[in-house]
Structure 1
Amino acid sequence: MPVIHITKTSVDRLQPAADGQRVDYFDDALRGFGIRVSSTVKTYFTMRRVNGKLVRAKIDTADKITAEKARKQAEGMLADMGKGTDPNATKRERARLAEEMARALTVKDLVKEYLDKHAVNKRSGAADERLLNVEVVPVWGKRKAEDIKKRDVILLLESIIERGAPAMSNQVLKITRKMFNFAVERDILPHTPFAGIKALAPTTSRERALTENEVRALWGAFDKASMSDDMKRALKLVLVTAQRPGEVSGMHSSEIDGHWWTIPAGRAKNGREHRVYLTDLALELIGPLTAIGAESGEQMPKGYIFPCPHDNKKQPIDSHSLPVAVRRNLAWPVIGKDGKQLYDKAGKPATENRLDVEKFTPHDLRRTAATFMAGMGFMDEIIDAVLNHVKQGVIRTYNRHSYDKEKQQALEAWGRKLASITLRNESNVIPLTRKIQVTR
């Protein structure tokens, strides 16, 4: 059998064998390491006697693994073979165990595996967990993961659309497909039922921005909305500051210094620390930064501005609760005098819009603020700085200006505009040119 020194160059030079023929080349340095060349493929392998029997074990093809990596794998395999381990038998046993695991694994088990091993590393991990536990586990949880077929996926997505949540249907497709792909990549499942499935609902662009009349109506409607005071203040603060709903809901008193709120990198969506100017209206919505300690009776930092209502949870309200509160108030059930749900002529539950505007999301409030700032003549650069958008191209590398002054001017101007829209007392609005010193 021919002997060569197996490297990328030497392997690339090997000519394909004649049709139906195979040629084995062995390495001149690592005994038992070789490459088999056929008319179509080149495959690395190891060969050594195991318990008296000559065993050949495949490593991988040359188009999928480098010669250097193949050599390292061969060293480990040959060492194991010298100890009496047959890699082919080991591979068969792993395949058998994987098959057994796939047969026994329920979708609920797979959800836990995905959340523990993959979603935990994602910024949106909590959102993935919530979606899977609400939309997937109740329907598929007890079923074997390997039994889920393409038709099951389609039926699940259609049922979500039929209840009036097309966007959620697309999101379920996105996350659940990732979960099954994860299972295939980890050799937990042999295949995914999501091959060839496309979103069943049209993907709509998120371009909603409220008009002046809508802002005015919404601001007044918050008074009658069926949500907590913290929810109302948080939603208003999204509109006032133009910041992301999740960043607002997680606000902590330690992040606020006078008129400036610093969102730490760990909480910012793009991973970059961000300074936000707080107008008087914003500070009014935030409220006191101190509270009287329950045990000490002394003044102490408040902590989370919008705390979770559960006393045993030392955390802010869940950012997911903001869009939930909005959706519920956009279609609040109408209850009769007898305390029972009323229905319309079509037999569907009767609802009322307690927010007095057409469908919107908390993120649309952020877009609304940005749209008004653009309408007042502020340049995109300044608005992007307010929104904490990452600079693009060469500007990202060379422009290190913080835009603090410009951000303050834009948010103060937007504050005055918002005050005029909502008919707040003009005497409480701070002029743009006036500088403020606040001790809090």
Structure 2
Amino acid sequence: MNVKEIKANIKNCATLRFNVGDGLYIKPNKSKNGGAWELRYTINGNRRFMTLSGLGFPEKSLAEAKAEAAIIKHQIKNGIDPLAERARQSEVEIITMNDLFNDWYKEKSKKLENPNIPFRQYIRGVKPYIGNLRVEDVKATDIRKIIQIINDDGRPSISNKTLYLFKHLFEHANKLDITQRNPASAFKESDAGGPTKSRDRALSFQEIEITLNVLRGNLGIFTYDNYLLIILLIIFGNRKTELTKAKWSEFDFSKNVWDLGIRNKKKSDIKIPLPKEVMPIFKEIKERSCGSEYLFPARKKSNSGHISDDTLNHALGKMFGSKVSKKQYPNLLGAEGVKHFTLHDLRRTCRSLLAELGYEGNKVTRYLNHSIKGVAGIYNRYDYLEERREIASTLAQRILPLAKINLISEEK
């Protein structure tokens, strides 16, 4: 069929497509007086139609269409299905480490309990150094450099976790046949941060008083919202994100109960009793949240709506002189004799203070939302709600006078 005959067929065609010859077809588009070039072929006993790449008729001439069809037919003759090959090429191409991480994270983030952890590790610790490198070009020396930088920065546990992230990423690359190398495989925990040591840091009542005095005297650096958060963490012994992500809808102030539900590490349903002593703090937080659904709304533009997971960490780091922002402050807490502690140490602090106040046993276990061990844990379904309310009240009576919330409110 020649060009003149093709044009006539397009104008008069009453079918979906018509045969041009040599397996070539045209699917007419009468409004444009043209059509899409298609190739009909058979492979593995199956007949298929494939639209040729680029332009259709008349922009792509009959000669050009025949030339492209000849190449495709040669592939088919060698057992290559052109449609399957085109589908493969349309998939996301993984070339750089950034590509690899994005593909791994897309698959794994739905299965991880806290997907933000590996995301932060990669964005902060890996991407700036080798994010744009080809996967094949990453060397063992690159891995060593990164884990040593993190370890030298005083974050040995993060160094370990970053090494594990490297191992997972290259296992993913091996699985996808992107590379057969794993430059992280030979490294052990001892090459990164070393074996993780159990922390035993807990603050005494005296240290808490000194700490709160320093924080209260530097609210321009630490902020009042962070100050209120620290007080609640000490009294309730919560994990940080249980408070930073808390919504007002979880609180029933008519019953003075915080229904945390399963939004906790143990994924076990729990209600937290709120003693009357802490109500002034929640009143302050309510006023400062300015109508947000969160107790502690985001301070910058954010998709989450609540403050960043790192906000409180960075604030406390600044008080110990860590360089976590453009401006570095002196070690204000260390200058007053307070040894370094982390936010999670406040949870251990809460447990130690309760022991000092004479509280032990299952009610303390439930207060910290730990599982009761052994047979008792299987059969004892009592929640110790009122006992926990008494514990919170006693601890609040010891902590709040040190916090001097009323004094700050009067100054405002």
Aligned equivalent of 2:204, options 211, 214, 220 = 211
Aligned equivalent of 1:275, options 271, 296, 305 = 271
SS of residue paired to 2:272: strand
Structure 1 residues 350, 316: CA separation in 2 closer, same or farther (over 3 Å shift)? closer
Aligned equivalent of 1:139, options 129, 138, 150 = 129
Aligned equivalent of 2:330, options 351, 357, 360 = 351
1:382 aligns with 2:363: yes
SS of residue paired to 1:205: coil
Matches within 5 A, 1:170-185: 170-185=160-175
Structure 1 residues 419, 231: CA separation in 2 closer, same or farther (over 3 Å shift)? closer
- Structure 1 distance, partners of 2:206, 2:316, is 18
**Cα deviations across residues 236-261 of structure 1 (Å, max 9, x unaligned)?**
21112111111011111111112211
On the 8 A contact 2:235/2:350 being kept in 1, the answer is: yes
- Structure 2 distance, partners of 1:101, 1:255, is 41
Deviating more after overlay: 246-255 vs 160-169: 160-169
On the 8 A contact 1:107/1:143 being kept in 2, the answer is: yes
Structure 1 residues 309, 141: CA separation in 2 closer, same or farther (over 3 Å shift)? same
1:329 aligns with 2:326: no
**Cα deviations across residues 364-400 of structure 1 (Å, max 9, x unaligned)?**
1111011111222222311210111123333332211
On the 8 A contact 1:101/1:188 being kept in 2, the answer is: no
TM-superposed CA distance for 1:125, in Å, is 0.2
1:220 alignment counterpart: 213
Amino acid at match of 1:376: L
1:229 alignment counterpart: 224
1:118 aligns with 2:99: no
Amino acid at match of 1:205: S
SS of residue paired to 1:352: coil
On the 8 A contact 2:214/2:332 being kept in 1, the answer is: no
Structure 1 residues 178, 383: CA separation in 2 closer, same or farther (over 3 Å shift)? farther
- Structure 1 distance, partners of 2:147, 2:289, is 49
On the 8 A contact 1:289/1:302 being kept in 2, the answer is: no
Structure 1 residues 207, 181: CA separation in 2 closer, same or farther (over 3 Å shift)? farther
Matches within 5 A, 1:28-107: 105-107=95-97
On the 8 A contact 1:132/1:176 being kept in 2, the answer is: no
- Structure 1 distance, partners of 2:405, 2:177, is 61
SS of residue paired to 1:362: coil
1:407 aligns with 2:388: yes
2:344 alignment counterpart: 363
Aligned equivalent of 1:263, options 260, 264, 269 = 260
Amino acid at match of 1:411: A
TM-superposed CA distance for 1:156, in Å, is 1.2
On the 8 A contact 1:308/1:315 being kept in 2, the answer is: yes
TM-superposed CA distance for 1:401, in Å, is 0.7
On the 8 A contact 1:332/1:354 being kept in 2, the answer is: no
1:148 alignment counterpart: 138
Structure 1 residues 187, 388: CA separation in 2 closer, same or farther (over 3 Å shift)? farther
On the 8 A contact 2:289/2:296 being kept in 1, the answer is: no
Aligned equivalent of 1:248, options 234, 243, 249 = 243
Amino acid at match of 1:141: G
- Structure 2 distance, partners of 1:233, 1:321, is 13
- Taking structure 1 as the reference length, the TM-score comes to 0.64
TM-superposed CA distance for 1:332, in Å, is 5.5
1:193 alignment counterpart: 183
1:344 alignment counterpart: none
Amino acid at match of 2:112: K
SS of residue paired to 1:307: coil
**Cα deviations across residues 173-193 of structure 1 (Å, max 9, x unaligned)?**
233322323333444442322
TM-superposed CA distance for 1:145, in Å, is 1.5
Amino acid at match of 1:220: N
TM-superposed CA distance for 1:350, in Å, is 7.9
- Structure 2 distance, partners of 1:293, 1:351, is 30
Unaligned runs of 5+ in 1: 1-49, 53-84, 295-300, 334-339, 342-348, 426-440
1:303 alignment counterpart: 293
Structure 1 residues 327, 289: CA separation in 2 closer, same or farther (over 3 Å shift)? closer
Amino acid at match of 1:362: L
TM-superposed CA distance for 1:421, in Å, is 5.4
- Structure 1 distance, partners of 2:286, 2:330, is 40
Structure 1 residues 379, 140: CA separation in 2 closer, same or farther (over 3 Å shift)? same
Structure 1 residues 309, 289: CA separation in 2 closer, same or farther (over 3 Å shift)? closer
- Structure 2 distance, partners of 1:244, 1:350, is 27
| Larger-gyration structure (1/2) | 2
SS of residue paired to 2:344: helix
Matches within 5 A, 1:427-438: none
TM-superposed CA distance for 1:286, in Å, is 2.2
Structure 1 residues 408, 141: CA separation in 2 closer, same or farther (over 3 Å shift)? same
SS of residue paired to 1:389: coil
1:7 alignment counterpart: none
2:35 alignment counterpart: none
TM-superposed CA distance for 1:352, in Å, is 2.6
- Taking structure 2 as the reference length, the TM-score comes to 0.68
| Percent sequence identity over aligned pairs | 23
Structure 1 residues 282, 193: CA separation in 2 closer, same or farther (over 3 Å shift)? farther
- Structure 2 distance, partners of 1:272, 1:384, is 13
Amino acid at match of 1:403: Y
Tell me the C-alpha RMSD between the 2 structures: 3.4
- Structure 1 distance, partners of 2:300, 2:171, is 36
Question: How many correspondences in the alignment?
Answer: 317
Matches within 5 A, 1:414-425: 414-419=395-400
Structure 1 residues 421, 288: CA separation in 2 closer, same or farther (over 3 Å shift)? closer
Which structure has the highest helix share of the two? 2
1:40 alignment counterpart: none
**Cα deviations across residues 244-303 of structure 1 (Å, max 9, x unaligned)?**
1110111111111122111121x2111112211223443322226866999xxxxxx652
